[in-house]
Amino acid sequence: MTTQQWLAAFLIGGGLVAAGRPAAAELPGNPSRGQAFFASKQCGRCHKPRGQQALGPPLDELRRRQGVLELAGRLWNHAPAMLGVLEAEGIEWPEISTSEMGDLMAYLQADYLLDQPPDLFAGQVTLVKVGCLKCHRLRGEGGSAGIELTEYHGGYESPVVWAASIWNHSPRMAKQAVEMGILYPRFTGAEMANLYGYLRNVAEKPQ
C-alpha cells in the first residue's frame, strides 16, 4: 500500500474521527444556493450586513457555526415577529421547501456535527414545558387544534425536513396561539434537538 492509498483508506474508514481530529463539516445543503435564496425570500429586508439599519439582527450574526436543529429552534422562535411585520405590509409568508431549507441552513453555517446527540428524557420535558400539548396530542393525550404528533412519520425523516415543515406551519400555529390566548413556544440551546429526537423516537415505536 502506498502512503496515498493508506491515507484514502484511513479517511474513508473514519480513522480521522477516531484519531480525535475535527471531522469535516457536514452541511445540510449548498451555501451559495442558500445565499441566493436568502436574498429572494424577504430575509434580506430585515437582516443586512452589520452597520446598516434593519429590523432584525445583522446578517453577520445570523451566519455563525451552529447545529442544524439549534438553527431550527431559532427559526421557530422568530416566526411571530416576522409574521407581524409581513402581515402589516401585506406580504405573504415565504414557504420553504426541504431542499431550500437545506441550502439556507448551509448558508447560515449550520452543521449536523454541531448538534449534540439528543437527550430523549429532556426532549419529553421540553414537549410539556413549551406547551405543544396545549394544541397537539401525543398518544391521545393533549389538545385538538393540531395533529397527533406520533402520527407525523414523514415529518421526522431528517432535521431539515422537520425544520421546513414547522416553518411552513408556523404562521397558523402562531395565530392559533393568539386565538387561544396562550404563549407561543420558544426554544433555547439544545431544546429543539432533544424535542425532535424524542418525537422521532416515539413516532417510530407505536405502542
**Residues found near ligand HEC in the complex (CB under 6 A):** 41-43, 45-47, 55-57, 61-62, 74-75, 77-78, 81-82, 85-86, 94, 104, 130-132, 134-136, 145-147, 152, 155, 165-166, 169, 172-173, 176-177, 180, 182, 185
Q: Cell digits for 6? A: 493508506
Nearest residue to 193 via CA among 171, 148, 162, 169 = 162
Cβ pair 159, 111 in contact under 8 A = no
The angle subtended at Cα 171 by Cα 169 and Cα 175, nearest 5°, is 120
Cβ proximity to ligand HEC: between 16 and 77 the closer is 77
- Minimum distance, C-beta of residue 23 to ligand HEC, in the bound complex (Å): 24
CA separation for the pair 57, 127 (Å, rounded) = 28
Nearer to ligand HEC, 24 or 81 (CB): 81
Distance, CA of 161 to CA of 101 (rounded, Å)? 8
Minimum separation from the CB atom of position 1 to ligand HEC (A): 46
The CB-of-191 to ligand HEC minimum distance in angstroms stands at 9
Are 104 and 34 in contact by the 8 Å Cβ rule? The answer is yes
Q: Which is nearer to ligand HEC, 26 or 60 (CB)?
A: 60
Closer residue to ligand HEC (CB): 112 or 152: 152
Smallest separation (angstroms) from ligand HEC to the CB of 46: 3
Q: How far is the CB of 135 from ligand HEC (least distance, A)?
A: 3
In angstroms, rounded to a whole number, what is the distance separating the alpha carbons of residues 183 and 67?
25
Handedness of CA 4, 6, 8, 10 (dihedral sign): negative
Residue (16 or 45) nearer to ligand HEC, CB: 45
